[in-house]
Amino acid sequence: MIVLDKVSFRYHGKSETSFSLKEVSFSCSKGPITGIIGRNGSGKSTVARLIAGLICPDSGAIEVDGFAPFNHTGNCRFLAGIIFQNPDNQIVGTTVAEDIAFGLENLAVSNAEMHSRIRDVAGRFGLESLLSAPVNNLSGGQKQLLCIAAVLAMEPSWLIFDEPTSHLDPWSRIIFWQQLKSFARDHGIGVIVVSQLPEDLAQFDQILAFDQGQLAFQGSREELKSSCDSLPWFTRPESWVFEKLSGAKP
């Protein structure tokens, strides 16, 4: 389980209006997929980075499966892997196989286990035939899948995705959700997804909506349908609009 208790964070820039997260509290469990939504600058990506241990909160407490991402010495414990929106900011290897292997080498995984994991995750995301291919030859969608495969290979307790389907075509998006749910179920991994795409809402079991650094909504997809009028920035998926129209009386 992930628990945030009155967590605050501020980017200490020169501007007095620099963004701040204000005493955010919530919890989420493994099994259901948690979606984090909100307009640009709302705080959703900051929350993802806090959980992954990339930044440390100014106040409040964060626990991931009973552990703090940052310990008292300031060192980060690898509990949650994060996949960023722009794959070029995350890829470090020159070939597909090298990029997947990079994190495994840092975790001191044996060569035999490393090769097994590389083949497994590459096969799950359609990258098996590209293991020796230079990463520069990959499409944007293939790079995104490579970033996901590289993090999954490290077998984190939680996976956090920041706009994971933004570079994928509709068919690749279907494959992504199918493989992600299958892998998470088979390995007992918790999943949090930051997304602005209305189409992704159909994949979320629990939804956290942020606005101006505060948690504006927490609940199920059905609860969001009935209360989204309180979120003026929220864009309803077309399927929700059709549902409402089809259910309207003549």
Average pLDDT of span 1-26 = 82
Can you give the pTM of this predicted structure? 0.80
**90-137 per-position pLDDT tens digit:** 899 999 999 999 989 988 899 999 999 999 999 988 899 999 999 999
Residue 75, pLDDT above cutoff 60: no
pLDDT (0 to 100) of residue 244: 60
pLDDT (0 to 100) of residue 78: 61
Q: What is the 3-state secondary structure (H, E, C) of the chain?
A: CEEEEEEEEECCCCCCCCCEEEEEEEEECCCCCEEEECCCCCCHHHHHHHHHCCCCCCEEEEEECCECCECCCCCECCCEEEECCCHHHCCCCCEHHHHHHHHHHHCCCCHHHHHHHHHHHHHHCCCHHHCCCEHHHCCHHHHHHHHHHHHHCCCCCEEEEECCCCCCCHHHHHHHHHHHHHHHHHHCCEEEEECCCHHHHHHCCEEEEEECCEEEEEEEHHHHHHHHHHCCCCCCCHHHHHHHHHCCCC
Domains of the chain with CATH codes: 1-79+159-238 (3.40.50.300), 91-155 (no CATH)
The pLDDT-based confidence of 16 (bands split at 50, 70, 90) is very low
**189-204 per-position pLDDT tens digit:** 999 999 888 888 989 9
